[in-house]
Amino acid sequence: MSVRNSEVETNGWTTFDVPNQFEDLQKQLATGSYYVQNVLDLADINTRLQNISRIREPKELLEMFPFFYSIAIHFDKVAITGRSQAVEILLRLTASEMSEAQRRIHIGLSADDRRFHLNIVKMLSCLLAEYIIRFDNDQTNKSSDFDMPAPKKGKKVKEAESGGKSSLTSDALRDKCLKGLCDILRSHIKPLWDSSIIDEQFVKSVTKPCYHLLRRQDIAKNPIVKENLPLILTIMINKFEHAREASIQFIQAVKLYDSNSSLLITVLNSLLIDYQDTSLAIELLKEICETNFVAAQADNASAKTMATFIIDMARLDPHIIRTHIDQITDLLTAESHHIRVAALTALCSVIEKLLSSDDLDDGQRKMRDDLLQILREHVSDVTAFVRQHCLQLWTLLVQQKKVPVRQYIRAFELGLDRLRDSACAVRKDAVTLVMHMVLNNPYFVVDSTRSQFEERQSDAEAKLAELHGELEKLNKITKEQKIMKEKQIESDDDEEDSGAEDKSIDEEDEMKVDKNQEKENPSNEDQSLQDTLDRVKIEEQIMRIEEIVTLFKDGLRFMDLIEQANRHVVNLFNSPTLADCKQAVDFFVNLRHYRLVLPNIEQSLRLMFSLIWSIDKSICEAITQAFVKIYFDVAPTVPVAHVPLHQARAIIRALKGATFSEELCFEEILKQLIKGKKISTEAITEALWKFYKAPPDDNTDVIAGKILTFIVGNEVNTKLNDITDLIQAKEKNRRFVHISCLLLQLAATPKKMENGVRPKQFRLPKTHRLFEILGNIIVSTFHDVSDRQWTPMMESAFDVIFKLADGPIKHIENIIKKTCC
């Protein structure tokens, strides 16, 4: 007989059964089960505490269990130091037993060994679990807050801080017990049990302190609890089939103690990610679907946490959602908008991860279309919160290219409709959806134009008509052949009826006819087969061309819808809500490369830049940043030397057709950018001078000169001769002469004062050829008053003479004399 067996038999028991209540261990519940025959009083406990350090081997727990049990019974009366001693011994025994049990499991266990180690494991787990609860309930030795790991200090420093005494708290000892209990479960002790048996009482005993701690406010902030409690529950669910009971406890904990819900979410995520265990997720889903979310709970924290459960399940294992799709759709009628959003998110995950491939069968395609229909319907939900999140889900599907091409137009119309929503948050996400649908559209690229689309559609339709003609011709030939064949059959039948006449045909003629038929039949069969192949080929081409035509039609329709969206988004610039304005700015910044597709986008951009006069500094900052992104961000493929030219050309294109007020907005933006040193002024100025000097091309030179008037000052006097030459060369272009005169006037801009003295104003000699050229232009065009450009040109020319000429009156007299002659 082994020592272990003799010790067990001496005590008259063979198994340690974990009871429903800890106090029930004082009575024997079944034959052969362990029970505490005598609970020690406080004096005996204190006496034994003096010799407790002699306990070394885990097997000694079989005899010493009543001592540790008695401490739990008299917990409040035992000094904190005594409890601490007991905890240290239990943790030492735990470490020793786990090492020995693992070794024995590895080499193989006999029935007696299994029972022996299982009893010790149960005893340790039962004691640690009970100590956790009792330490947590102890109010006399509580720490002021949950225990955080303190920095390591030397022994002398610790003693100095505590006055030579160790600082013990119930919370610290509780955390030690929790970690010890977790160490037991992490040691892979499941082989100690019969594989066909689930020890429900053991499971209940181990998980009881976990659910107890969940009731303590903000216990999730405790790092020891945060690490060990989720792990205990995860192991019990995965190894001991605790999912059903855990789901019920989770729901109750979420409803009453939501501040610790992050611990439960950690358990769910760990099971799905680390163990690929869906048992808890399935049970939780059932419990959530059976929960009645009444109006009083509509916005509370528990609904948010349950919504988080659903979203995490869908994110980590969408197959669970697909299997329980009916229960999820039932949640769409819940009063809690958090639950409705979670259900929609779950359905979106199913579409995204399971129903987005090209090789779906009919059933899968129908499920996908049904789920998309649900998402469409809830874009118009009564609650703005749901509408907003539903639009976000659509945006996610669009960005990942999970929306079927045939449903793209309908999806775009959802965002278009919500641009007029009463809620700002919904409008914001509607703008985002529309923007991403343009950026990810399946119809065209950034350099496409409507005329190109219409031309390609026309070509495709012509090709389609041609194929239909070929198919019709082939069908006609086939029909004629069929009629001829039927007539031939009727003719053969008639010949059989006149059998007497046929017999008169000699044998030689019959042989000739048979040979001819043998030659004709294979030929006819080959021709029929070829006709069938041609027909199938043409039908396949027709189907392919029809899809192309449909794509072009949808693309043109999509362009029309973009124009509608453009108008709606522009209206947001007039919104009193700051978020609307910023979202509209972001919309046009991101679509800046679609100028060919959106011919009106330049006008929209000019309207946007009028916000530079806003009293809100953040709006002004957003506008200047948008201006830089739109006109100064150049593709990386452009050589560095050509970047300023591309930037200048972009600004020139933007100002074509601009009104005077819009030009003022551009001027203000450029001045702010120059003042803030956010653009390379010298490089862009030099590029504009090049465009100004270039041959006339759709007023590019005029607009370049106008932009120069915004950003250059009296330094223009270094370009006077060049400007004079250009005026002479382009004197018939009155707009160019007008802009050039405005540039020349900048040379007369007063210089900054130096040492309190303002420098003398810049003047040109009265003999300078500029004044003769301007005088000739004035005289030659003096009577062309019907031209709209005549007045501004005349005014600017006279201004140049008065501001720059040294003795301007003499020049004016000469002009008057020439005009009167």
Cβ atoms of 819 and 779 closer than 8 Å: yes
H/E run at residue 67: helix 61-73
pLDDT band at 523 (very low <50, low <70, confident <90, very high): low
In sequence order, which ranges of 448-506 are alpha helices (DSSP H)? 450-497, 499-502
What average pLDDT does the structure give for the chain?
86
Structural domain boundaries of the chain?
1-147+167-237, 575-751+760-820
The predicted model gives 347-357 an average pLDDT of 95
With a CB cutoff of 8 Å and minimum separation 6, the contacts of 48 are: 40, 67
The string of pLDDT tens digits covering residues 84-112 is: 999 999 999 999 999 999 888 888 888 88
Residue corresponding to tokens 């362009």: 559
What is the reported pLDDT for 338? Answer: 92
Closest by CA to 313, choosing from 255, 264, 375, is: 264
CA–CA distance, 532 with 528 (Å, rounded to integer): 6
Q: Which residues pair with 805 in a beta bridge?
A: 764
The pLDDT, as a whole number, for residue 383 is: 95
Q: What percent of the chain has pLDDT over 70?
A: 89
Strands, E assignment, 754-813? none
Would you state the pLDDT for residue 255?
77
**Which of 148-157, 358-367, 682-691 bottoms out in mean pLDDT, i.e. has the lowest?**
148-157
Lowest mean pLDDT among 160-169, 534-543, 677-686, 803-812: 160-169
pLDDT reading at 157 higher than 50:
no
Residue 410 pLDDT exceeds 70: yes
What region does 539 belong to: left with phi over 0, alpha with psi -120 to 50, or beta?
alpha
Nearest-CA neighbor of 138 among 195, 198, 178, 78? 78
Q: Is the pLDDT of residue 687 over 80?
A: yes
Q: What percent of the chain stands above pLDDT 90?
A: 57
Q: What is the DSSP letter of 613?
A: G
- pLDDT band at 7; cut points 50, 70, 90: very low
For residue 710, give Cα distances in angstroms to 347, 481, 656, 672, 795.
Answer: 55, 81, 15, 11, 19
Listing DSSP states for 364-375 in one string gives: HHHHHHHHHHHH
pLDDT digits (tens, 9 = 90+) for 251-297: 888 877 778 888 999 999 999 999 999 999 999 998 888 887 765 45
DSSP H helical segments within 378-449, as ranges? Answer: 384-399, 408-418, 424-439
Q: Please write the tens of the pLDDT for every residue from 435-474.
A: 999 999 999 888 788 888 889 999 999 999 999 888 888 8
pLDDT in tens, 199-232: 999 999 999 999 999 988 889 999 999 999 999 9
**Which pairs from 630-635 meet CB under 8 Å and 24+ separation?**
630/588, 630/589, 630/592, 630/605, 630/654, 632/679
Question: Rounded to the nearest 5°, which phi and psi values hold at 149?
Answer: -60, 125
Distance (Å, rounded) from C-alpha 595 to C-alpha 463? 30
Lowest mean pLDDT among 151-165, 252-266, 688-702: 151-165
Q: Is the pLDDT of residue 495 over 70?
A: no
pLDDT of residue 445: 83
Residue 160 has what pLDDT?
42
pLDDT of residue 147: 44
pLDDT of amino acid 572: 94
DSSP state of 731: T
Judge whether residue 768 has pLDDT over 70: yes
Model confidence at 499, pLDDT cuts 50, 70, 90, reads: low
Per-residue model confidence (pLDDT) at position 117: 93
Among 495-509, 536-550, 616-630, 735-749, the least confident range: 495-509
Q: Tell which residue, 331, 333, 346, has the closest CA to residue 289.
A: 331
Q: What does each C-alpha distance from 732 to 97, 599, 738, 789 come to in angstroms?
A: 104, 31, 11, 11
559, amino acid identity: M
The C-alpha angle with vertex 686 and arms to 683 and 689, in degrees rounded to 5, equals 150
* Helix count and strand count (H, E) for the chain: 35, 0
Integer Cα distance of 811 and 816 in angstroms? 9
How far, in Å, CA of 260 to CA of 210, rounded?
A: 11
Amino acid at residue number 477: I
- pLDDT of amino acid 497: 56
Position 173 scores a pLDDT of 96
More confident residue, 196 or 521: 196
Closest CA to 251 of 217, 206, 283, 212: 283
**Mean per-residue pLDDT, 675-691:** 92
What pLDDT score does 399 carry? 96
For residue range 228-250, what is the model confidence (pLDDT) as tens digits? 999 999 999 999 999 999 999 98
pLDDT given at position 6: 40
Instruction: List pLDDT tens digits, range 22-69.
Output: 999 998 877 788 999 999 999 999 999 988 878 889 999 988 999 999
CA diameter of the chain: 144
Cβ atoms of 258 and 301 closer than 8 Å = yes
**Could you tell me if 23 and 126 are in contact, meaning their C-beta atoms sit under 8 angstroms apart?**
no
CA dist., res. 105 & res. 2, Å (int): 19
What's the N-to-C CA distance of the chain in angstroms?
Answer: 144
> 629-636: long-range contacts at Cβ-Cβ below 8 A with a sequence spacing of 24 or more?
629/589, 629/592, 630/588, 630/589, 630/592, 630/605, 630/654, 632/679
Q: Give me the pLDDT at residue 614, please.
A: 92
pLDDT above 90 for 664: yes
Nearest of 632, 561, 548 to residue 598 by alpha carbon: 561
Task: Kindly indicate the confidence band of residue 493, based on its pLDDT and cuts at 50, 70 and 90.
Answer: low
DSSP 761: P
d(CA 555, CA 809): 65
Phi-psi region of 218 (alpha: psi -120 to 50; beta: other; left: phi over 0): left
Per DSSP, the three-state class of 559 is helix
**Would the pLDDT of 517 be above 60?**
no
